[in-house]
Structure formats: structure tokens, C-alpha cells
Structure 1
Amino acid sequence: MLRLLIADDEVIERKVLYKTLQKNIGDQCVIFQAENGRQALRVYEEEKIQIAILDIEMPGINGIEAAQKIREKDKECCIIFLTAFDEFSYAKKAITVRALDYLLKPYDEQELMLVVEEAMRLAAEYQANRQAAESQAGRGQKYELPETALPAGDDMEDGGQVRLSKVTEIISHYIETNYMYDISMQDLARHMNYSEAYFCKLFKQCFNKNFTSYLTEYRVEEAKRMLAEPTVNVKDIGRAVGYSDSNYFAKVFKRITGQSPTEYRLCIFQRG
């Protein structure tokens, strides 16, 4: 089972988030809680946490500082910020510690779970890589884990007012042409010559949601269209929209639509 940590000094909010995660992924993750950044770091060390959901404004050591200390020791821990503070300086710092995402309270449960499930996929992938490394080392073969580079720069660009309609058009076109590949927010930021911190905020302004949620929903809409073709295999559809793991594709699809791909296809033909 994966190990996930919630750190938030607001007791009620922390308990509500715990119940939400327990309901959705309690059979796949052991969920720990911390009431401040110092306690979060202790739990992280003791429990070997793989996914950390951190509030930012906490007494003593805040969420950004806790994330920085985690990142100094661990390149693979998936960090998600969940905060009520919509400030550019926080988003900028979140990128510097390679946070998977930066979500605002009050959060949308579906948006939250899409990000958490992506974190679970990455954490499981990192775990499999480590096991492969240990297996190779046990046979006397050298195996090196891939390095994940830190962002090269995070300064906010000058240039005055951004024409959001034009930017939205460029982003939409990029996703339309590349959604079937393993693309990230960092890839798109580089494509547009924006710093990642600035682009993170800009994307939210354009689409009123984070990159992970937007890309996932776009892929699911494409999958729906393909499912209307009865001769196309469901696994092939998953691969065609960017999901090499058919089980993960089915989970994401159900998260968005409430049905598995097979159930959705059956409903199409029953209505027809």
C-alpha cells in the first residue's frame, strides 16, 4: 500500500479531507495526518511517506518550508499543496520544490482526486523503479534511476498584459496535438517560453482549472468519441489517448464519467 500524508493545522478541514481520501482511495493508501509542518516532517521520516498533501499557512514550519526539507532528501515524494491562499509568490515557490500541483480551497472533489490519483500512479512507478534497481543490483548489474531535473528557472516574465484569448488558443492547440503523449505542464511551459511558475498561474486564469484536470478531461472526451466505434478495442483506446496502463485508464474514465469505458460503450449502443 502507498503511504500518504495530510498536513493541515485546521482540524475540521483535515478530518474532512481525510474522510474524502479514505472513501476514495482508502483501500490503496495508508493515510497519515499531521497538524503542523514540524509534525509532518517527523511523520514523513518515520513512515517513509510517498505522497504529501500540505497546507501552506501552518504554525512553526509552514508547508513550503516542509516541502523544501522533504525535497532536499527525496526527489520522488509527490507533493501537492492545498491552500486557501491564492498568491503568486506561493505558486512560484511550489514550482521550485517540484510540487505536482497547487490546489485552492475550497477544492472540487473530482479535481482533487484526479491529482491524487496521478500522484499515486507516479509513486507506484517510482516504487517499481526502485525494486527493479534492487533486483538488478542483486544480480551484480548496474541500474541507475532516471534523474528528474529541477526547473531551470522560475522568474516571472515581464511584458505587460497577456492576451489571454491568444494564450488560450495556443495552449488548446498544443494539447489537441499532443494529448496522446506523456506531456506535462513543464513541457507546455517550455514550449511557450514561459517560466513554470508564471505558466502555472496563467493556465488557471485561462481555463479555471489546473493542468492535470484539464488534460485528463480532454483525454476522456476523446476516449468517449472513440468508444462510439464498436470495432476499436478499449485497451487500444486507452493507449490512443495517452494511458499505457489500461487499469489506470479505466479508473480515470470512471472518475470523470461515473462508468467504466465498457459500461459507457454499452450505454451508447443501448441508446442507439
Structure 2
Amino acid sequence: MYRILVADDEPIERQVLSKRIQKNFPGQIEIFTAQNGREAMETFEHENCQIAILDISMPGINGLEAAKYIREKYPDSIIIFLTAYDEFNYAKQAIGVKALEYLLKPGRDDELQETLEEAFSLIDCNRTPTVEEAPENSSQIAAADEDLDHARVNAIASEIASFLETHYQDDLSLQSVAGRMGYSEVYFCRLFKNCFDKTFIMYLNDLRMTKAVELLKDISINIKEISERVGYRDANYFTRIFKKKMGMTPSEFRNKKEMP
């Protein structure tokens, strides 16, 4: 059972978001709510939460301040921002507290679900298996926790990078890639962190943005087509990810590059 904190100063926002998450993950989660940053910090601690979904604009202690406190006290916690602020400066601060994702309200169901699935995978990666759990992957998990020699890390990283370089246009998730490469989900998650020091989604988005930047140099290709070519079926979602990474929209980036 994953324990999630939802913090927002608007009661309706908290209620709607909580219901959306419950609907997508029935029987998998417990949700706790807070109406401001201070209450968020106290509730996260008191209820032993693992994931914090935070609004930024809250009275008193805001979401960014609460996130900094949670990150310092609970280094393995998962922080997700869901906010109305579409500003690069806030996104940069979110990166500073190692937030898993920075989503704009109201947040589409598919992107919220994808982000939470990634969060659950990271929690599972950090979880110590118990005696009662099925032991079939225990030797693999233990091996992933050992210090890997430099040559092995490079070999595994090369294998993963090559796969993603070939398949980044596909509809990918950590779970699907782990399966297609022949790894258990938990083992692959730990390998990925060992190899790249970032989450799967962060790595995949960075790779796709690199490809998008190259395609934007060709003015004969429209933004929607570029979005599809780099693996995003929704051009609006692609634009949001691009702006978060680059500080400007794809169109603004293209126009800037065209200026003498």
C-alpha cells in the first residue's frame, strides 16, 4: 500500500484529485490531505507518507518550502508538484528539490497516472524485501545493491542507452522496457539508478528533448509532427515538457534559432 499526501489550499481541488487517484489505483493507495505547507509537513511525517503531491501557492509555508523540508528529512521521499504556475523559475526550483515531476493543473489523467506509476516503481526499488515476499528475484536485487565495477556499469548503461536510442519513439514505461530487456521491474529500476543517477522518465524525456531540438532545426517539419516523431502523441504535452526543460516553447525555440 502506497501512502500519498495531497496538499492544496482549495478543498475542492484536494477532493477531486484524491478521487482521481483512488479511481486509477484502487486498493493500492492510502491518501492523506493537507491544506497548507505546514500541515503538509506534519501530515507527511505523522502518517509515514512516501509520496507528496504539492501545490506551490499555499498560505504560510508554500509548497516549495514544504518540499525542501520533506526532502531534507526524508531523502527517499517522492515529491510531485501539481500547480497552476507555468513558470520556468518554479520548475527550476522543483528540480532543485529533486521533484519527480512538475505538472500543471488540472493535470491530465494519463500523465498523472504515468508519474505515479514511476513513483511506485522508485518506492519498490528502495524497499527492502521481507522474508515473506516471493524470493525468486532476491538474488538479483541483492546483486543490484552491490558496488558494480566500472566495466560492468558501462556495459549495462550502454545496453540500456542503445535500447532507448532505438525505441524512444515508442510508447515506453519503466515496466515495459524492463520486460522487453529481460529484467525484473525492481532489478531494472535499481540498475537504472546505478547507471544514470536519474529516473527512467527523466532520462527518457531528456533523450526525447535532444531529438526534438535537432528536428526543430528543419523548419519544414511542423511541431505536431516533431512531437509524434520523438514519442509524444499529444502535442500540447510535448510543448509543456519542452518548455519545462528548455525554458521556452518549441515555437519560441525555433524562432530564436531562426533570428540572425
Q: Same fold (TM over 0.5)?
A: yes
Q: Deviations over 1:171-211 (max 9, x none)?
A: 9878249x647544257649989xxxxxxxxx998823549
Mark the CA change 1:108 to 1:79 in structure 2 (over 3 Å): closer, same or farther.
same
Match of 1:185 among 202, 205, 213: 202
- 1:126 Cα shift? 1.6
Counterpart residue number, 1:104: 104
- The two structures have a TM-score, normalised by structure 1, of 0.53
Q: Are 1:7 and 1:33, in contact at CA under 8 Å, matched by a contact in 2?
A: yes
- 1:112 Cα shift? 1.0
- 1:3 Cα shift? 0.6
Q: What is the 5 A alignment of 1:26-105?
A: 26-105=26-105
Q: What is the 5 A alignment of 1:1-272?
A: 1-128=1-128, 175-176=168-169, 180=177, 182=192, 183-186=200-203, 189=206, 207-210=238-241
SS in 2 for 1:86: coil
- Structure 2 CA distance for aligned equivalents of residues 106 and 206 of structure 1: 13
SS in 2 for 1:89: helix
Q: Are 2:8 and 2:34, in contact at CA under 8 Å, matched by a contact in 1?
A: yes
- Structure 2 CA distance for aligned equivalents of residues 12 and 57 of structure 1: 15
- 1:48 Cα shift? 1.1
Query: Sequence identity of aligned pairs in percent?
Result: 46
Counterpart residue number, 1:158: none
Q: Deviations over 1:98-117 (max 9, x none)?
A: 11100001211121111112
SS in 1 for 2:68: helix
- Structure 2 CA distance for aligned equivalents of residues 93 and 104 of structure 1: 15
Mark the CA change 1:19 to 1:205 in structure 2 (over 3 Å): closer, same or farther.
closer
- Structure 1 CA distance for aligned equivalents of residues 32 and 237 of structure 2: 35
Q: What is the one-letter code of the residue matched to 1:113? A: Q
- 1:145 Cα shift? 6.5
Q: Deviations over 1:206-242 (max 9, x none)?
A: 823549xxxxxxxxxxxxxxxxxxxxxxxxxxxxxxx
- Structure 1 CA distance for aligned equivalents of residues 61 and 11 of structure 2: 17
Q: Are 1:2 and 1:124, in contact at CA under 8 Å, matched by a contact in 2?
A: no
* Structure 2 unaligned regions, length at least 5: 132-141, 148-163, 179-191, 193-199, 211-231, 243-260
SS in 2 for 1:128: coil
- Structure 1 CA distance for aligned equivalents of residues 209 and 109 of structure 2: 30
Task: State how many pairs are aligned.
Answer: 169
